[in-house]
Structure 1
Amino acid sequence: MVAFAILIFLFLGSVEGFSTSPQPCTYDKTKTCKPALATAIFSTVSFLLGGVTSLVSGFLGMKIATYANARTTLEARKGVGKAFSTAFRYGAAMGFVLAANGLLVLYIAINLFKIYYGDDWGGLFEAITGYGLGGSSMALFGRVGGGIYTKAADVGADLVGKVERNIPEDDPRNPAVIADNVGDNVGDIAGMGSDLFGSYAESSCAALVVASISSFGLNHEFTAMLYPLIVSSVGILVCLLTTLFATDFFEIKAVKEIEPALKKQLVISTVLMTIGVAVVSFVALPTSFTIFNFGVQKDVKSWQLFLCVAVGLWAGLIIGFVTEYYTSNAYSPVQDVADSCRTGAATNVIFGLALRYKSVIIPIFAIAISIFVSFTFAAMYGIAVAALGMLSTIATGLAIDAYGPISDNAGGIGMSAEESLSPLICV
């Protein structure tokens, strides 16, 4: 992180020879922007903030998951409903920590940088872009390194236990089970959290930058300029309400009810988020404002920008359902892959690869349609907020993602402790 920060400072500062005098703005030659040295300094600081926030989010996620594993195992003694609620609540806590940390640090950084930049929104948000880059840079190491560790530990434990010793998975006689359980936390909790934080921060920064450059009709009003952050903050409140539906309003009584319950969370969060975005769009944005679409003025209504966010939000829901269809053992694609094993490994690999190619068709069309619709309504700014809409329910998405490794490790702990708990929670 330090090495990358030094490179960023040198590259950005050397654009104008580390100049300390104001320069003509790239997006408007009639205005002057802050010197290159200031851009280099503030971009480097924001990069370090993004990297540190990503690391802290990953660390807190692992801390939460570690506590959740054992507690979910204990709650499983009371039934599958208690185990599900415990695992999902801890997953939701991780989602809230990640989303709130990213939003809070970004908001504080904007306000601190604004003391220097003043009304130079273009320069301010250009410096803020380092925040998203910092999060993505750390996510690269967390996701790739964590994923490799996870699979190495998982495959190693299975080879030793199932193949060589012919003992069950998570058997206490296999010490590699510990590495497998740790790997779930490293790759599926810390790595996944860092990865999604990078996407979350990048989308927020991209929307802010596009707003500062093209949306002059917002008259640089503070609330309107921070519309992307308002959307993200509404997402946190919506996901809090959604968690209550999963753990308090509905009771899980059987294992077969878990998968439908998780799918309901996506639908509920998307519906509530649509309502929330509609409200804040009409409150935070002017009724009509002007943006510049490649040098051409374009009038945009507040309801059009709301539709851009909504299109991205619902496209994300469609992608989630398609992914679930192609990866769940409750549907024919996974069952067909399993059936192809009857004729050997070769047909299994070929069939699985062909199915993966098929599975991306609908998501690609969903993304393409959302890009076309949002660009038609609000040009590049519309695309930026549509991407933010896809990630606006990130807390619920993380809760569902984290539920998997938490319940998996809880089952492993139960098996290693020679308790008959794993059938209840290893879903």
Structure 2
Amino acid sequence: MEEAGITANQLIIQTYNKKGDFTLGSTGFIVIAIVTSLLSFALAAWLYGWVKEQPSSNEQIHRVSGYIRQGAATFLNKEYLVLAKFCGVCAVLIFIFLPSPIWKGHILLNFQMALAYIFGALISAAAGKIGIAVATIANAKTAEAAQKGIRLSFLCGFRGGAVMGMAVVGASLLGVALVFWLTGDTTTLLGFSFGASSLALFAKAGGGIFTKTADISADLVGKVELGIPEDDPRNPAVIADNVGDNVGDVAGMGADLFDSNVASMAAALVMGAALDQTMGGTKNVSMVFCYAALGLLASIIGVATARMGKNDNPTFALNSSTYVTTAIFAVLTAIATAVFHLEWRIWGASFVGLLVGVIIGIASDYFTDDAKKPVQLTAKASESGPAFTVLSGVSYGFISTLPALIGIAFSALISYKLCAPLGGDYAMFGISMAAVGMLSIVGMIISNDAYGPIVDNARGLAEMGDLGDDVIDITDSLDSAGNTVKAVTKGFAIGAAGLTVIALLGAFISEVNEAAVAKGLVAAGEKYLTGFDVMDPIVFFGMIIGSAIPAVFSAMLMLGVNRNAQRMVSEIHRQFREIPGLKEGKKDVIPEYDRCIELATTGSLHELIPAGLMTIIATLLVGFIGGVRAIGGFLTGNIISGLLLANFMSNAGGLWDNSKKYVESGHNGGKGSDAHKAAVIGDTVGDPFKDTAGPSINTQITVVSLIASLMASLFLTLSLL
């Protein structure tokens, strides 16, 4: 406990302070966080029961939905088996070396760290399993509910996604609260965060490779070569495509945002605990748990009250729920700040982070919504051929990075300046609380994001179940809203990751300074590091290498998709060639769906490990060569380059996807035209951008930042330079 600067006396719940004002010690806020987490689990259970009780009687839909559910479960089980081996090796290494080598006599601390790492990985894995379980039920319910109208169908899709939102955020807050309460050690908390991040890195990468392998293969052979509909059951890759939506956009994105949420709280608690140790009390730690709990409470209220209005516009309904949740959080935290006498400047930093998150989402929406000019102009360019489709998407994708990066920059600057007058390290703590603020409504964000693949699957099931054009039109409308909102949630996730890793850079400096005092390199109260001079050649060395890592990481993932998709295209061709009557659509002729699922699974598991290992090894090499200054530069370069590429790829991919859908809706020649074929090729390029490499960069940045903080003591004493 003492290592975090928190004594047992300070953890006792207090009723009144010396002035007679009502207040709570940090234990009080931890208890509130735990209770709020349990409340979110209760809501998730109710939503799951509600979705499951919705009627479904179409035999074809039931059968295909079963294929999807079985394929997703098979992939996750195989992926988690591979990741269990990786996490087991990491846990052993952590036990031997962290927080200090085991031969130095702190065996219990090392065991505690390894246990926290495993706990983080297990919770992250469980969140993915829960999301898949409900999403593969909700897709069929959403499709059949569309026969009764768009409102019930929307509610099935949204509430199915909300199970994931409530479970993921509840688990992240509960995990952080329990680890901190039981250990009181922020370094152990970083170990828990690293467990969540390392699993999320591979889960997002593996799911992304799987889903885009199937999506690209199905589109190229089905739409471009044969001119058959997107979800035509004749296509052998169509079930794998639907499985991929779940393992990539439900389990993968859930793990990504779970990781970001845990990392933001961990970074804030590292700096908050250090401030509390210097200034006395537990005010700053209390503030982290207070705001995180109120953010989850706001999401619970937002999810429970979400409905589609009279205008029957699903995009408006989803965005309105986000704005309502934002307003609720702002009001609740303002009330808590006044009642518990917390620091108003910190509240201001949190509110700035939340506001900028919404602004980044709006900017992403502009570049990816088919009602806006960039998508429409890209669709128009498709009339001249696929080269112009690609050029337009790349260009608008690069332009789209400016507002997002300006937002992150201003959020960091304003929160820093706002909290600097408080003295000490409050300026960096302000940035970490801006990240907590931006991620405060992550429960609603995940709910919106998981809604997307559910309604996407529902659209395919409606077509395969022959539910009629009216039902397909409804599910098309829901799917279009999912694509638009998914672009917003990805922009939000990237922005949140940006602030989180800036906060983790501050946490790294705190860890280095604590290690330097412990090793006698500086006197107690002095700082070994206050920042990084970019003109220092060691810092610059790290910065150059760090800036290259996201590009290489992205390339390795996309080459994995490329290789895997080529194998699947060959398999689809084989089935159309060798299965009599398949291409003609003869009755009772069924493709070998399982062959495509198995091929996507095997290929993605083969491809997911190298890219993740490359980033981890590069971080360790730079740290042991150049020490903590080189790592400071490495993290800085990695953050800047990573945020730029993540925003570019996410928005460009979303723009190409919606340009294709805009053409398919009857514009610029419509389905089957040359513009349509060009738009499909643009979407094929964009698929691994937006669903594999782009969102995986968020986790890559977080992973290297956490490794730097955990290894700070070793980098400080064992480097070559």
Superposed pair shares fold, TM > 0.5: yes
Letter in 2 for 1:147: G
Contact 2:346 2:430 in 1 (8 A): yes
- 1:13 Cα offset (Å): 5.2
- 1:217 Cα offset (Å): 6.4
Residue of structure 1 aligned with 2:365, choices 306, 321, 324: 324
C-alpha distance in 2 between matches for 1:137 and 1:412: 33
Q: Does 1:397 align with 2:429?
A: no
Contact 2:207 2:248 in 1 (8 A): yes
C-alpha distance in 2 between matches for 1:240 and 1:44: 33
Partner of 1:18: 103
Note the 1:148-163 alignment, pairs <5 A. 148-163=209-224
Partner of 1:42: 112
C-alpha distance in 1 between matches for 2:392 and 2:276: 48
C-alpha distance in 2 between matches for 1:67 and 1:145: 22
Letter in 2 for 1:231: Y
Measured against aligned partners, the alpha-carbon deviations of 1:270-293 in whole angstroms (never above 9, x if no partner) come to 11111112122334455xxxxxxx
Measured against aligned partners, the alpha-carbon deviations of 1:182-213 in whole angstroms (never above 9, x if no partner) come to 00000000000001111111111111101111
C-alpha distance in 2 between matches for 1:71 and 1:104: 30
Residue of structure 1 aligned with 2:236, choices 134, 155, 175: 175
Partner of 2:515: none
Compared with structure 1, are the counterparts of its residues 14 and 271 closer, same or farther at alpha carbon in structure 2 (3 Å cutoff)?
closer
Q: Does 1:425 align with 2:475?
A: yes
Unaligned runs of 5+ in 1: 21-35, 115-123, 287-301
C-alpha distance in 2 between matches for 1:304 and 1:129: 26
C-alpha distance in 2 between matches for 1:419 and 1:189: 25
Contact 2:273 2:284 in 1 (8 A): no
Measured against aligned partners, the alpha-carbon deviations of 1:200-239 in whole angstroms (never above 9, x if no partner) come to 1111111110111123466333x75232222121112111
Partner of 2:658: none
Letter in 2 for 1:320: G
Q: Does 1:251 align with 2:321?
A: no
C-alpha distance in 2 between matches for 1:386 and 1:360: 20
Letter in 1 for 2:265: S
Measured against aligned partners, the alpha-carbon deviations of 1:50-101 in whole angstroms (never above 9, x if no partner) come to 1101000011011110111111112111001111111111111210000001
C-alpha distance in 1 between matches for 2:195 and 2:346: 28
Unaligned runs of 5+ in 2: 1-86, 420-425, 480-721
Q: Does 1:277 align with 2:333?
A: yes
Letter in 1 for 2:175: V
SS of residue in 2 equivalent to 1:169: coil
- 1:394 Cα offset (Å): 0.4
Q: Does 1:194 align with 2:279?
A: no
Compared with structure 1, are the counterparts of its residues 154 and 252 closer, same or farther at alpha carbon in structure 2 (3 Å cutoff)?
farther
Contact 2:337 2:347 in 1 (8 A): yes
Partner of 2:198: 137
Partner of 2:159: 89
C-alpha distance in 2 between matches for 1:41 and 1:265: 43
C-alpha distance in 1 between matches for 2:135 and 2:321: 20
C-alpha distance in 2 between matches for 1:236 and 1:97: 11
Partner of 1:303: 344
Partner of 1:385: 433
Q: Does 1:415 align with 2:468?
A: no
SS of residue in 1 equivalent to 2:306: helix
C-alpha distance in 1 between matches for 2:404 and 2:223: 36
Residue of structure 1 aligned with 2:291, choices 221, 231, 235: 231
Residue of structure 1 aligned with 2:377, choices 328, 332, 336: 336
Compared with structure 1, are the counterparts of its residues 208 and 285 closer, same or farther at alpha carbon in structure 2 (3 Å cutoff)?
farther
Q: CA RMSD in A?
A: 1.7
C-alpha distance in 2 between matches for 1:98 and 1:14: 31
Contact 1:13 1:19 in 2 (8 A): no
Contact 1:170 1:416 in 2 (8 A): yes
Partner of 1:348: 389
Residue of structure 2 aligned with 1:266, choices 322, 341, 346: 322
Identity %: 37
Letter in 1 for 2:104: S
Report the TM-score, using the length of structure 2 for normalisation: 0.51
SS of residue in 1 equivalent to 2:194: helix
Partner of 1:292: none
Partner of 2:95: 9
**Aligned residues, how many?**
382
Letter in 1 for 2:158: F
Residue of structure 2 aligned with 1:363, choices 390, 404, 421: 404
C-alpha distance in 1 between matches for 2:99 and 2:345: 39
Report the TM-score, using the length of structure 1 for normalisation: 0.85
C-alpha distance in 2 between matches for 1:270 and 1:62: 27
Compared with structure 1, are the counterparts of its residues 54 and 368 closer, same or farther at alpha carbon in structure 2 (3 Å cutoff)?
same
C-alpha distance in 2 between matches for 1:281 and 1:9: 40
Q: Which moved more, 1:39-48 or 1:88-97?
A: 39-48
Compared with structure 1, are the counterparts of its residues 218 and 279 closer, same or farther at alpha carbon in structure 2 (3 Å cutoff)?
farther
Compared with structure 1, are the counterparts of its residues 38 and 252 closer, same or farther at alpha carbon in structure 2 (3 Å cutoff)?
farther
C-alpha distance in 1 between matches for 2:369 and 2:294: 30
